[in-house]
Amino acid sequence: MRVLLTGGAGYIGAHTVVELVAAGHEAVIFDDFSCSSPVAVERVNEITGTTVEYRTIDVTDPVAVQTGIEETGPFDAIIHLAARKAIGESVSMPLEYYANNVGSTLVMLGAMRDNGIGTFLFSGTGTVYTHQEDLPFVETSRTGLDLPNPYSKSKRMCEEVMRDSALTDPDKKLIGLRYFNPIGAHESGLIGEDPQGIPNNLMPIVARVAAGILPQVSVFGRDYDTADGTALRDYIHVVDLARGHLAAIEHAEPGMHFFNLGTGRPSSVLELIAAFEEASGRTITTVDAPRRPGDAQATYCLPDKAREKLGWNTDYDIRRACADYWRWQERNPAGYRD
């Protein structure tokens, strides 16, 4: 299978390319490198022993996308990963988030239609679920547009566009993956998460505190109704997540289908920090902070549908994810930059 990945040089994209190539598929990357680096592609080549083709393309530009497909296609499938993804930033930059996330999805669905590409896989999020009382979330749990931030809303809008697109051609295969909390890195230490500026997610902050780059981890909320008072999240190793993409396109069926990708085993903030301390051998300084507006007490899923329909399962726990992330952090203290 020949697969086009938008945002394929990013954190999830690079790991997905590795899994695709390992399974015998061909991968081509379209990325504008605004939030990623061509070095990631070089590292992917080192891991796989191949040369993955890539183009520097803004996938909100339909002309550039069509030109790129004509130069590098034909393709059997699109994995659409390119998106802005910082929840906090989305609140202050809503227009940019809607333009990028919804706009790029419209362009890539159009490219699918115009170039006879049979399968489209969308990088979605578990934050589209709207009711805590539905926990653990399954694919039929309630979603909606009454979400607390433009990032989540933009992803939910894309799902609706995909539903409508699926109705126009019953032979097309459209897949929406709803991720939970990706952590970890490739076991080689060559590719991993490389956030620019101050990270938004917990794991890169914890890693930078362990490395002495940041002074402390703020624990937002110690008064939740959980065992240790901190919020619960479903942390999934990025390699398991990448293999979920592989399974999804290999088992794609006509129509619109959604799958949760998580472990089904939530961990608290303090549990993740303790696991990272064990992996790194470092003490991680924490400071208590108030809850952040919009933060949920718990977010986790049941991934049974992906297990049953895709033959997919998770292999790694948070201890393995922390060990792999620490290896990446130690070997790449500045990420992909010199």
CA pair distance 192, 174, nearest whole angstrom: 28
Per-residue pLDDT of 205-225, as tens digits, reads 999 999 999 999 999 999 999
CA pair distance 216, 219, nearest whole angstrom: 9
Per-residue pLDDT of 80-124, as tens digits, reads 999 998 888 899 999 999 999 999 999 999 999 999 999 999 999
pLDDT at 145: 83
**Mean pLDDT, the chain, whole residue set:** 96
In this model, does residue 199 exceed pLDDT 90? no
The pLDDT-based confidence of 338 (bands split at 50, 70, 90) is low
Give the list of residues 6+ apart from residue 158 with CB closer than 8 angstroms, or none.
101, 102, 105, 122, 124
Whole-prediction pTM value? 0.97
Which residues are known catalytic residues? 151
What mean pLDDT is predicted for residues 178-187? 97
Q: Where are the alpha helices (DSSP H) in the chain?
A: 11-22, 38-48, 62-72, 87-92, 94-97, 103-114, 150-167, 202-210, 238-250, 269-280, 304-310, 318-331
**pLDDT more than 70, % of the chain:** 100
What mean pLDDT is predicted for residues 216-240? 97
Query: Residue type at 229?
Result: G
CB 104 within 8 A of CB 59: yes
Query: Residue type at 132?
Result: Q
In this model, does residue 196 exceed pLDDT 90? no
CA pair distance 325, 189, nearest whole angstrom: 8
